[in-house]
Structure 1
């Protein structure tokens, strides 16, 4: 709830141009935007949208892609040619990575998929409007600073204090921006910043450089705000195209920070934090001593944190295992001078055992699973179940899983039609969610649900015999145990196969 209040506050006195050819969606979303923004201007296609853009000033442009006369991508390019700093959000039914890549190259700031969910829309709006406020604050500060200099005031000490205060304010805003998007990335950034500072101190860098690399560590993944949720929050492995999208976060981060005077010193570090000693890194492909010295430290710190935290597909390494891997890759991926220091500097570091890529807050869980819900029932789908089971395997968690099978649904569909069959499935899903609130519900087959983290003692078949909407249409229910116990080295593929058959 605090987020929506914050969003309204950020949208006060702001204007938005919304371009959409679907009349009903344009009307519905337009009305919603009017509740947030002071001025909302609507356009039915890219040509009209560009015309209205040239006639007025807008803080934000929201556009569809596929439209008559001029599509949203072409219109966005035209707008960026007019104003490179214009904030743009795309709402589209296209989910292919090439569209995301095109949008990032143009400089689009947000991308959400249709059908529009207002929770997702609010999250993207909050991200973009926070960025706008940050830029406005910096511009106002710089303008004020220039005016004071021109007036030749003698308040140098006060100005310096104000500068420090603004730096901290901007830093806080940027960190909040990361946290709103992805708390794992935010936690990763803080840990990398700490490791960077520890290593730099051990290597004999002065206080100024140690503070600089700490700030760079905090913001090294800020470019991920430009990566679509469909890719950034994907629990599965990336395709080649999706990986190309992820790699764009370096350039996006540099673009965000390079025009902020106080962060000019860290841009060079962030720009090179994915290079490799042998030259096979990105985005520049430089090698050896060509890599800036502080960036060499961040490359190792970034990798160390990735090794020592649980990922969905990979169990974390112990500190000694991680340090051994760093040594084995010294002179290949990492600079030998840095590795030689790291093996001593981080050998006694303490790491939280509970760090995980899985979402923590309720909002994060919803955003994380946004593309992993069954469209008919609202339950999570089989892909999300597989990813959770992989996380259980990594962390060796206890798993209690039961299948709920419906019998007679085929006859019901023949008699009443598929639409009514879908509604019945949705009704069963609502019942299971209400009845077993502490469990996670999945639909893995046409007439099969899975309850995860459900204790056997709480399952009562007699409860289902009392459900009127099932009894009326002779729909039977069968409950069977799928798995119970600590999840260790069981074959997930075989387990999923048994669930589907």
Structure 2
């Protein structure tokens, strides 16, 4: 009969802060030997379970974790060597010591070649057992230190990503890769709470193999009430087999889930996300130590999410301030009111017509809304002069792009928009300003702004003239295509604007 007392001690109360070996499984078909060794080790403060053969021992190891296995070699059903091979497949940090008679010393040596730490020859004294266990304890501590070093390295990589300003997806990628290494999971999933709809949405998944049948079974979004019900006390959850509760909130019931670690990502004791590790392979269950590792990573990821959200809010505040400043600038002049937003609209039409990526389109629109912000440094009377500007006035007017650059330059997250704003008065033939760049020397975004800006200026009233008709403005664009305007950008704009006009 298996004397398995493991369940008398609930896993939640097992210390994850192990300094050395704590849990030992003794395997021997001679019950008196197993009992003597067990009682002696218990007297030394270890938690000990026993099994009478390898088959029974393997069942115990698949349902709970142990640091050390002391096993006889010759046993019925499954002998010690077969058990050793199965232990090696479990991927846990389990140290094995073999018990052997004189006649099987060669077999014990073979066992060491297969991964056993050491062997003890029968008959033995309990002091001999204690001596080998103490040496195994030192080896175990070295293994744990190695694991902790790997965890520290992975956490350092995440910290570097956070401090370097990496975006959330990059931080998630680093985190998922690190977790996969440390926890040895078949799959990892990260959910983040969407504050607008109160749903926890699946943001990223990681798999050992995408060919597995369970790789498509993940729930895409989970309601807030279900998450709060699952994490009743806001604590990480570790469950196996029949004990797994409510797995369907994360993964479909048809999946063959064997073990799960689910960790709530918390900021100020509020759950902002969920980090899960899944095992689908029979016999591969997670340990308390692996739950602790996932908890450490979850804290770093939660901090990264909060930092990024705060930074995004700050960025948005700055952008709104700058756009408000640009709008206030245009509001003082009835002729240019709404000009920047029209330039943005036309620029987007061109960018989409050219097939640019969404991030490029967003950057160009951002630059369009701020392209004239430097006019805040130009005398309003010069801007609204009803006749042609003289040379001095025109030179002052041209300085608005330099002033705009100086205004935006200190704001790091707007840095990519600066070249578009600074060069949007360059001409395709090189006769523009400020540097006389030509052709492809001018950033594409600036060439797009040049066409959009000119078209809106021509089709709007100005102090010195009335607005041109749509047809007249198109004619002007065609006339100066290849000199003032990029011919490809001009052609795309005319095609797209005419297409919209006919709808």
In the superposition, the TM-score normalised over structure 1's length comes to: 0.39
